[in-house]
């Protein structure tokens, strides 16, 4: 079995290597310059470039041909789990589906996670772990269904400007204009950016992130956690400490938003991904 994802999963490179997760990159465009997300434009370089550039970056999905090439790279008798960002946020899933249709003799399971960034990445990671453990295709399909129903992403952004200008603002459009000194707290519902709350001040917003997670998951049952950030590692470490104080947590993965997700959310974002492991 093979596990393939796209670069918006924002999984640390050490995890990709450890679990043999293959990645098809999206592209980031600064004017005429084009970069492959997480390949030749890493987060550090991206945020530096974003700060210095007058150009708002735009992004583009892989083509169906990119996926065909990736799917055909290895033994074509293997089962492929191809797991991707919400189809409401990117055309990546559609490209993967078109590639699957071009390869009718291959066993390819294409998944629209309806999630983004490391929330989608955690689905990929759990599937890769199940593959490593030798689970059956049926067990892994069942695991994916479970994860898609249980993983939540709650995040705050420094500004809605990037989501608005890139057309990914979804139902958070309703918050525009009323956010003076307020921090919008957002989530994904059916793959669409949706407002969850708005709070005045950074620390209160971080506290609210944690309380929303407590409402969803409680403090007793062990949770798996990922913390994401857009070039604000100190805030991410603060959130990690808050999670450790409030939850019965297993591992906590900290990751930086890559260039594609960072282009849509902007710098200064912080978020928490949480779920209970399948029993």
Write the pLDDT tens digit of every residue in 101-140: 999 999 999 999 999 999 999 999 999 999 999 999 999 9
Counting every residue, how long is the chain? Answer: 279
Whose CA is closest to 251, among 276, 226, 232, 230?
A: 226
Give the domain extent around 226. 152-275
The predicted model scores a pTM of 0.93
H or E element at residue 4 = strand 2-6
Question: Pick from 107, 124, 149: which residue ends a domain?
Answer: 149
Report the alpha-carbon distance of residue 259 to residue 192 in Å, rounded. Answer: 20
Residues 229 and 121 in one domain: no
57-73 confidence digits (pLDDT tens): 999 999 999 999 999 99
* Class of residue 14 by CB neighbours under 10 A (exposed 0-12, middle 13-18, buried 19+): exposed
Q: What is the mean pLDDT of residues 27-46?
A: 94
Does 277 score more than 90 pLDDT?
Answer: no
Q: Measured at the alpha carbon of residue 95, what is the angle toward residues 90 and 98, in degrees to the nearest 5?
A: 145
Question: Pick from 125, 149, 173: which residue ends a domain?
Answer: 149
Residues 65 and 140 in one domain: yes
Does 171 score more than 70 pLDDT?
Answer: no
In a domain, 134, yes or no: yes
The total number of structural domains that make up the chain: 2
Residues 163 and 71 in one domain: no
In a domain, 54, yes or no: no
Whole-number pLDDT of residue 75: 81
Cα-atom radius of gyration of the chain, to the nearest Å?
18
In a domain, 52, yes or no: no
- pLDDT band at residue 184 using 50, 70 and 90 as cut-offs: confident
In a domain, 191, yes or no: yes
In a domain, 47, yes or no: no
Q: What is the CATH number of the domain that holds 69?
A: 3.40.50.10440
Q: What is the CATH number of the domain that holds 258?
A: 3.30.1180.10
In a domain, 129, yes or no: yes
CB atoms < 10 A from the CB of 18, how many? 13
Determine the longest span between alpha carbons in the chain, in angstroms: 56
């Amino acid at each position: 079995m093979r596990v393939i994802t796209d670069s918006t999963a924002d999984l640390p490179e050490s995890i990709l290597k450890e679990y043999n997760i293959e990645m098809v990159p999206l592209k980031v465009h600064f004017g005429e310059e084009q970069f492959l997300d997480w390949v030749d434009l890493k987060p550090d370089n991206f945020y530096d470039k974003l700060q210095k550039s007058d150009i708002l970056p735009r992004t583009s999905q892989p083509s169906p041909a990119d996926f065909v090439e990736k799917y055909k790279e290895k033994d074509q008798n293997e089962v492929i789990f191809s797991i991707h960002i919400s189809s409401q946020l990117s055309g990546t899933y559609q490209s993967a589906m078109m590639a699957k249709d071009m390869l009718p003799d291959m066993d390819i399971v294409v998944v629209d996670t309806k999630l983004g960034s490391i929330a989608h990445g955690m689905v990929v990671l759990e599937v890769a772990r199940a593959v490593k453990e030798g689970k059956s295709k049926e067990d892994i399909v069942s695991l994916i269904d479970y994860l898609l129903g249980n993983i939540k992403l709650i995040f705050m952004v420094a500004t809605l400007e990037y989501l608005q200008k890139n057309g990914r603002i979804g139902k958070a459009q309703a918050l525009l204009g009323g956010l003076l000194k307020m921090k919008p707290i957002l989530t994904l519902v059916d793959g669409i950016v949706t407002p969850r709350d708005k709070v005045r001040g950074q620390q209160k917003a971080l506290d609210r992130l944690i309380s929303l997670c407590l409402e969803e998951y409680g403090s007793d049952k062990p949770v798996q956690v990922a913390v994401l950030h857009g070039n604000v590692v100190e805030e991410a470490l603060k959130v990690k400490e808050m999670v450790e104080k409030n939850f019965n947590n297993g591992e906590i993965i900290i990751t930086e938003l890559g260039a594609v997700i960072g282009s849509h959310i902007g710098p200064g974002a912080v978020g928490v991904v949480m779920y209970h492991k399948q029993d």
